[in-house]
Amino acid sequence: MYELFFGLKEKPFSLTPDTEYFYRYSGHQEALNVLLVALRNGEGFVRVIGEVGTGKTLLCRQLLKVLQNDCATVYLPNPLLTPRELYQAIVSELELEVPAAASVQHLNQRILEELIRLRELNRPLVVLIDEAQAMPYQSLEALRLLSNLETEKEKLLHIFFFAQPEFEQRLAQPDLRQLRQRITYSYRLPTLRPQEVAGYLEHRLQVAGYEGSGMFHPAAVRLLYKASQGVPRVINLLAHKSLLAAYGKGQQQIDKSLVVAAIKDSRGEQALSEPGSGNSFVVELGAIIVVAVATLLLLRTLL
């Protein structure tokens, strides 16, 4: 809606993970480094823990891009799988031919054969599991058993977990102690620091085609950090609503009042303006509708 007004080719603050917008802030870069070091050291299990909205899925997809030339990869975005479905998903991702009614043992054997073939090609297999905190116990145990497929000197399979903090609570349970002991590398994904928010906003705007600078006033940036606590998903949500409100007012720079309106709307508060704070988000939307109707009337007149 506002892309043309700001000179953008697309919306810069979409909530959909897109590796084109991957921002190498300190947390994501450190996490990426840890994962790559763990892989080079031949570790079997690695976990990345992060709160909701900190960019775990984006990091996972960025890692897939980094590994695609040197490794065979399997990406499992939905961990709600039985052990048999888990093995089937791995076989499917590797494009291996197996009978539709193949047993768990048959699937396991086929995966082992592929691991040996990949080892001869010097292409380790990396399985990336998103939202791992939701994976059933039986499937976690099936992964541990699958990791037993190794030689005397090296791991043939590398498994990276991307999960919310609840995953650590699950691993603390006695029946998962064998899996817990095999996770040798861990990283907790932090949020953006206050000084990183401005760079994050500028990066996404530039990727979206913005050719200017300083669209977000420093006071607006500070408020975005305070309201979001540095969580990228929340920043995206509030920044998108702020742009929408600015478009409705015909305003090129995002000031603090626009962020205040976006915060109010996101919290579901009553859309009333505070004294001196500018219009509410509902008023901004009303202004957008007025602009759109006026534009349609003008086009009809010209035609």
Write the pLDDT tens digit of every residue in 17-55.
999 999 999 999 999 999 999 998 888 899 999 999 999
Angle at alpha carbon of residue 64, lines to 120 and 8, rounded to 5°: 150
Q: Over 60: is that where the pLDDT of 274 sits?
A: no
Which domains, from first to last, does the chain contain? 26-188 (3.40.50.300), 195-302 (1.10.8)
Q: Over 60: is that where the pLDDT of 276 sits?
A: no
3-state SS of the chain: helix, strand, coil percent to 5?
55, 10, 35
pLDDT confidence tier of residue 275, bands split at 50, 70 and 90: very low
DSSP string, 88-144: HHHHHHTT----TT--HHHHHHHHHHHHHHHHHTT--EEEEEETGGGS-HHHHHHHH
Reported as a single tens digit per residue, the pLDDT across 91-136 is 999 999 998 889 999 999 999 999 999 999 999 999 999 999 999 9
Average pLDDT for 151-164: 85
Cβ atoms of 90 and 74 within 8 Å: the answer is yes
Q: Which residue has the tokens 């998103």?
A: 130
Angle at alpha carbon of residue 105, lines to 118 and 127, rounded to 5°: 40
pLDDT of residue 156: 85
pLDDT of residue 149: 72
pLDDT confidence tier of residue 151, bands split at 50, 70 and 90: low
| Highest-pLDDT range among 240-244, 269-273, 280-284 | 240-244
Long-range contacts for 285-289 (Cβ within 8 Å, ≥24 apart)?
285/244, 285/245, 285/248, 286/248, 287/248, 287/249, 288/1, 288/244, 288/247, 288/248
Q: Over 90: is that where the pLDDT of 65 sits?
A: yes
Q: Let me know how long the chain is.
A: 303
Q: Which residue has the tokens 């004294």?
A: 275
CA distance 263 to 239: 10
| Greatest extent of the chain over all pairs of C-alpha atoms, in Å | 80
Which of 138, 130, 133 lies closest to 162, judged by CA? 130
Instruction: Name the average pLDDT for the chain.
Output: 87
pLDDT of residue 153: 65
CA distance 191 to 204: 17
pLDDT confidence tier of residue 248, bands split at 50, 70 and 90: very high
pLDDT confidence tier of residue 12, bands split at 50, 70 and 90: very high
Share above pLDDT 90 across residues of the chain, in percent, rounded to a whole number: 76
Q: Which two tokens stand for residue 64?
A: 């897939």
Q: Give me the residues paired with residue 254 across strands.
A: 216
Collapsed DSSP state (helix, strand, coil) of residue 286: helix
- Listed range (150-164, 189-203, 216-230) with the worst mean pLDDT: 150-164
β 72-76/183-188 pair status: unpaired
Residue 184 identity: T
Q: Which two tokens stand for residue 170?
A: 């699950």
Reported as a single tens digit per residue, the pLDDT across 222-244 is 999 999 999 999 999 999 999 99
